[in-house]
């Protein structure tokens, strides 16, 4: 039943705050200077520009700050302050930009697998999008997944495959869910996440975000995570460990000192960090060092 593309239209609901997004500032932030329409080409280019510019990161959660999904706060942080965000932040910002460009967008919640088929609660955001020039095709869009996420949208079709540079993705159907799979540089496939094409509302995102950003045991609470993927390399940072995946299958792993973590966030993940950010990060990392040594 879920191999059939869902029907949806432009979401004009004010609950997402899309009308409050400064679209000009957002497009400058991601370096997009192309046509502002709702064509497939624009969707592909804006998706790629967003992913290459706005990294997945949870610095604020790691250091104990409260993260807001209000559009004004998303714009302040991700657009004007040169920061990234985790999936709720970056994909909701991207969805708002698509709203403003005239794309029909369905906001969803997905279940992370990361190679593990245990059933988990729906903790990841992903989007379905329609374009004006291919109205019969639905596209899965998700620039906010992280290092192994889609670089460009792919068609929601059982058996569909997409390749950008050395990386490939595949969509299938498993137990009534769509499943997105990723292929690494050595040709191995693994499940990233599963989803059903069901529209979610602001209250659903607020609840899932609260659990993900505050629950003890969440992968984003009391640990630092940053991820970035491109056509040529994938970077993953967890606390003080930086993992770099290369297209030929090589993986490099480095344990960083606190100052080196800050440098990596700036250089590898493109984050603009204030003096306060750095002070809080260094305190967080040094507490982690002390706990590991005791």
Give residue 91's pLDDT.
98
Mean pLDDT of the 19-31 span:
98
- Sequence-distant (6+) residues with CB within 8 A of 43 are 98, 103, 129, 131, 139, 141, 153
Q: What confidence tier does 5 reach under pLDDT thresholds 50, 70, 90?
A: low
Give the H or E element holding residue 290.
helix 275-293
Lowest mean pLDDT among 16-30, 59-73, 185-199: 185-199
How is residue 215 written in tokens? Answer: 């629950």
pLDDT at 14 over 60: yes
Q: What confidence tier does 10 reach under pLDDT thresholds 50, 70, 90?
A: confident
How is residue 124 written in tokens? Answer: 């990841």
Q: What is the mean pLDDT of the chain?
A: 93
Give residue 247's pLDDT.
87
How many angstroms from the chain centroid is the CA of residue 123? 12
pTM: 0.95
Span 247-283, pLDDT tens digits:
888 999 999 999 999 999 999 999 999 999 999 999 9
Closest CA to 101 of 152, 30, 46: 46
Instruction: Find the largest Cα–Cα distance for the chain.
Output: 61
| CB-based burial label for 87 (10 Å; 0-12, 13-18, 19+) | buried
Give residue 294's pLDDT.
60
CA distance 223 to 22: 32
> Going along the chain, which residue ranges are E strands?
56-57, 105-112, 124-130, 138-141, 154-155, 161-164, 167-174, 177-183, 189-195, 225-229, 234-238, 241-245, 251-255
The share of the chain scoring above pLDDT 90, in percent, equals: 82
Give residue 3's pLDDT.
44
Query: Alpha helices, DSSP H only, in 9-129?
Result: 23-30, 40-53, 59-62, 71-74, 87-101
- Sequence-distant (6+) residues with CB within 8 A of 12 are none
Q: Given its phi and psi angles, is residue 239 left (phi above 0), alpha (psi -120 to 50 degrees) or beta?
A: left
Angle between helices 202-214 and 87-101 (to 10 degrees): 160
Give residue 33's pLDDT.
97
Give residue 17's pLDDT.
96
Span 77-131, pLDDT tens digits:
999 999 999 999 999 999 999 999 999 999 999 999 886 767 776 889 999 999 9
Give residue 9's pLDDT.
87
Give residue 7's pLDDT.
83
pLDDT at 163 over 90: yes
Span 57-79, pLDDT tens digits:
999 999 999 999 999 999 999 99
Q: What confidence tier does 1 reach under pLDDT thresholds 50, 70, 90?
A: very low
- Cβ–Cβ < 8 Å for 61, 86: yes
pLDDT at 161 over 90: yes
Q: Compute the CA torsion angle 276, 59, 21, 12 (nearest 10 deg).
A: -150
């Amino acid at each position: 039943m879920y191999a059939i593309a869902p029907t949806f239209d432009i979401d004009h609901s004010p609950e997402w705050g899309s009308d409050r997004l400064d679209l000009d500032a957002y497009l400058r932030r991601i370096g997009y200077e192309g046509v502002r329409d709702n064509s497939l080409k624009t969707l592909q280019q804006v998706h790629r520009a967003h992913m290459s510019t706005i990294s997945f990161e949870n610095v604020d959660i790691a250091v104990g700050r409260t993260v807001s999904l209000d559009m004004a706060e998303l714009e302040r942080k991700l657009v004007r302050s040169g920061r990234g965000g985790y999936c709720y932040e970056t994909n909701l910002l991207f969805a708002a930009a698509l709203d403003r460009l005239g794309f029909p967008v369905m906001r969803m919640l997905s279940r992370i697998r990361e190679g593990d088929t245990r059933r988990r609660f729906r903790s990841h955001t992903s989007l379905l999008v329609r374009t004006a020039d291919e109205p019969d095709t639905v596209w899965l869009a998700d620039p906010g997944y992280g290092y192994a996420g889609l670089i460009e949208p792919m068609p929601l079709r059982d058996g569909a495959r997409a390749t950008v540079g050395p990386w490939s993705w595949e969509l299938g159907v498993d137990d009534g869910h769509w499943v997105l799979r990723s292929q690494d540089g050595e040709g191995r496939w693994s499940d990233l996440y599963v989803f059903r094409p069901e529209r979610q509302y602001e209250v659903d995102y607020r609840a899932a975000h609260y659990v993900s950003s505050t629950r003890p045991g969440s992968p984003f609470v009391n640990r630092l995570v940053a991820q970035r993927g491109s056509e040529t390399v994938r970077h993953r940072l967890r606390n003080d460990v930086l993992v770099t995946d290369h297209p030929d299958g090589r993986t490099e792993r480095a344990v960083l000192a606190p100052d080196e973590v800050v440098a990596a966030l700036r250089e590898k993940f493109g984050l603009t960090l204030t003096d306060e950010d750095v002070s809080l990060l260094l305190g967080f990392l040094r507490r982690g060092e002390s706990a590991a040594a005791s």
